[in-house]
Amino acid sequence: MRRTRPVPPSPVLLTVLAVATAGSLLLTPHTATADRKPVTREGVEGTGSEAERSADDPRAANTSAGAAVRALTAPVTDLTDRGRGYPREQTLSPDPENPADKSIKLGLIPYHGIAPKLNALQKLGDRVSVEVAGRSAGGHRLYLVTVTAPESAAQTRAQEGMRELIENAPTVAAKSRAVKRSYKAPVFVNNNIHGNEWEGTDASLKLIERLATATDARTRDLLAHSRLYFNITANPDGRIAGTRANANGFDLNRDFVTSSQPEGRAMRQIEIDKQPTVMLDVHGYVNGTLIEPTTPPHGENYEYDLFLKNSYANALGMEAAVNGLGYTPRKDGVEPAQIPFRDQEEGWDDWPPIFTPQYAAFHGTVAAHTVEIPLTVNNRAYDTLPVDELRRRSAINVAVAGAAITGTLDYVRDHRASLVADQIEVFRRGAAGAAQVPVSTTSVPGVPGIGPEDVYTTTFPRAYVIPAGTSAQRSAPAAARLVDQLLANDVRVTRATHAFRLGGRTYAKGSYVVDMRQPKRGLANVLLADGRDISDKVSVMYDISGWSLGRLWGATVQPVDRGSLSGAPLRAVAAATRLGYVAPHGRLRLRLDDPREIAALNSLLRDGVSVRRAADGSAIVPASARGKAVALARTYGVAFDATKATGTATLHRTRVAAAVTSGELFALREMNFEVTPVSTAVLNAGFDWSRADVLFVSQGVEYDGLTPAARMALDAFLGSRGLVGRGAEGAALNSAAGLLAAKPVEGNGDANGVVRVVNSGRSPVTGGAPDHGFVYAPVWFTDLGPGVRVDQSYGAGNPLVSGHWRPLADGSGGPAAAAGQASVVSGPHAVLFGTEPLFRDHPKGEFAQVARALLSVPTATIGTSGEESG
């Protein structure tokens, strides 16, 4: 159920606001009755189509307390669910039986068994509802189950109204007796996000079956005052195949913030629509069972005092429930549960928002946990252990996951009022622009061991501006994409109807403004801010440490520390303004600074349009292709401007042989390159090089591992065509093939983050590129030979803007060693990247550098003077 803004005022919400303000709303949730017939929704799956979004809200927007109240005009749910109570049942069509499903060997439910199981659970009473929240990359349905006491349509509308009140008018919600008395605390249990960590799915199905029929007083009370949401399997592709990743090869528990995958977008929408107070993400395998909260560093953008208070208390309850199962190391191989915040020093942090629980915190979740169940059954264990042992372990894991979930539900039942109050406080602080509260033994009583190493806060700017105008905005397509990403994450964005001044600067009409006095300011800041260099805070990080979309997505974004938005000519937007434009006469110029522009170019080349490259790196399109340009401008939101330039070299359709990561493969295909994956084994089998125009390597091809015939074929191809290499492995192949005289130097392999770079304006690869890049195990190049051009260098001083990059023990490999060194170099038949410009969809603004390298290498000849010819 998608919430979209803006829409006409909702009578339900306005009524709830009025009544809640008066403090007189009383709701009496139903309890389950055995003879009540469930409401059916036969033959219907999903939640309906998303409402079409308009570009501008006719109402002027600001973020005062009055504006927070006016924000209640947002819709409650998709129109298909208006006026419907609970349960909301449907009959799910069966999936074809798949005997190869990897779950079967473990004695767990296969994916094709889930739909029949959910159909049966809905028939047990009137507490269980099922909806299809989306589909996976492989096309499998994502099932979201709701368990709650039955609600009439009026009660459901009141619940949704209170949920909106909590986010959009938190000061009012905090005083509402109706919210305190009657709001059902939402709880979200996410399962199987890593496909080969199976057992959370089975534990949830067992628990749902018990909750559907239990008649004890505690269960009735829980369901009368809570809504429980279960994402049965977040990664059905991986569940079936026994892989961590989905069908696109993405680790879904690294995809939040970018949300490049359909499963991640479905989970994001659940967080927005359901607004859980508490959530669990069930994983495996760590023995003993690992239950967050984490070690430092802690995410600086969320209200960590409220988060730690509830997460630690809930973790203690889960620990007691898990240990209470009675499993022992000697008899069962199960160690006692552990809580990293209490039991570890570092290495299991919650710094990046890419993980499910950390992302949930920005949507008002005040207790969120990764739970790692104990006994390994995947990877090597899956292939080598006897089936009986695997099934013994899986049964224990199901019990442990079930205990953790049950322990959480006990915490929710006993602390519903304070959980809701703390969620309200998260949104109140954001809307009011209130200061964060540093954690301490005073601010978070009852949590032992809090020290200065746990204190992470930030200073929020007054606003962010994404300016309009060719002189102020580097890339209009990038700006539009960024705005749409903010909106998709439920961040509020406005657009200027006239030029205005803010913070001592004038911004053009059409500029976007993100007012940081809004309920989800933490999420806005985590997406747009530079971040922080935390290299001196801890010695090791669990995953990435820098990710700024403000720096990496290619748009110009300006933080504004001071100024008033009162009276500014701003209107709320529900989508970025569409940008497609084609000049009416003459030749056309298409910039190649954004992946959307590259995708449009590759469509033209695939259609046989004769396109030439201009001296500034843009593409010159003949007037005869204007019709195709119109269609592409509409599809990709790009501009084809008029030009008198004729271009210097012909651009050709480029087919890429790629030995790359899953993320890089995804990015190449997003830009409409024709890609054939290759590897050492594929080349040794006799790869047909006539199918490729350029080779892109970041992993998987070892020159020494090639047969003599495969090596000869590769050398011939590289001599007439070329190589784009990324990282240490790409550079190693270049050196082995003797293409480019450049010595690669590997930095600290644990380093990652956002770095300052200096681009050569004369380079067809990096000319006009953003002045920030991303590194993961950074590389730089020295001892450059004749004819080698430096396209990009790391910034002087300390190039790291945000992230974690320390020198190695001998003092080498750090950012100081990289400063001023070449990060991208090129020659007649090769381009080498020491940065990571296609990493996990994070550095969108860097994608075009790789695309321009791929387009240049097959035909470009670079002389010793650095000038391009051919």
Residues assigned a catalytic role:
372
Strand 278-284 versus strand 295-298 pairing type: unpaired
User: Per the structure block, which two tokens stand in for 482?
Assistant: 């960024």
Give me the residues paired with residue 231 across strands.
144, 190
What are the CA-CA distances from residue 719 to residues 523, 562, 703, 858 (Å)? 49, 57, 15, 10
CA distance 563 to 572: 19
CA distance 374 to 349: 19
Of 117, 138, 122, which is closest to residue 89 (Cα–Cα)? 122
- The count of other CB atoms within 10 Å of the CB of residue 112 is 19
| CB distance 78 to 1 below 8 Å | yes
Give me the residues paired with residue 772 across strands.
756
Residues in the chain: 870
* Single-letter residue type at 831: V
Place of tokens 């628990």: 207
Of 142, 150, 92, 159, which is closest to residue 121 (Cα–Cα)? 92
Look at the alpha carbons of 806, 358, 232, 401 in this order and tell me if their dihedral is positive or negative.
Answer: positive
- Secondary structure (DSSP) of 612-654: EE-TTS-EEE-GGGHHHHHHHHHHH--EEEE-----SEEE---
What are the CA-CA distances from residue 416 to residues 166, 402, 557 (Å)? 14, 20, 40
**Helices 521-528, 476-488: crossing angle, 10 deg rounding:** 150
Helix H, strand E, coil C: the string for 399-429 is HHHHHHHHHHHHHHHHHHHHHHHHHHHHHHH
Could you give phi then psi for residue 426, rounded to 5 degrees? -55, -50
CA distance 667 to 680: 22
Of 708, 661, 611, 709, which is closest to residue 833 (Cα–Cα)? 661
| CB distance 856 to 764 below 8 Å | yes
CA distance 698 to 843: 16
Q: Which long-range contacts (CB under 8 A, 24 or more apart) does 162-166 make?
A: 162/16, 162/20, 163/275, 164/13, 164/16, 164/72, 164/74, 164/76, 165/13, 165/16, 165/17, 165/20, 165/72, 166/275, 166/364, 166/420, 166/423, 166/424, 166/427
CA distance 858 to 655: 10
Reduced to 3 states (helix: H, G, I; strand: E, B; else coil), residue 801 is strand
Strand 128-135 versus strand 141-147 pairing type: antiparallel
| CB distance 377 to 393 below 8 Å | yes
First to last CA, the chain: 54
User: Per the structure block, which two tokens stand in for 152?
Assistant: 């009439």
CA distance 29 to 413: 15
| CB distance 299 to 456 below 8 Å | yes
Strand 868-869 versus strand 290-291 pairing type: unpaired
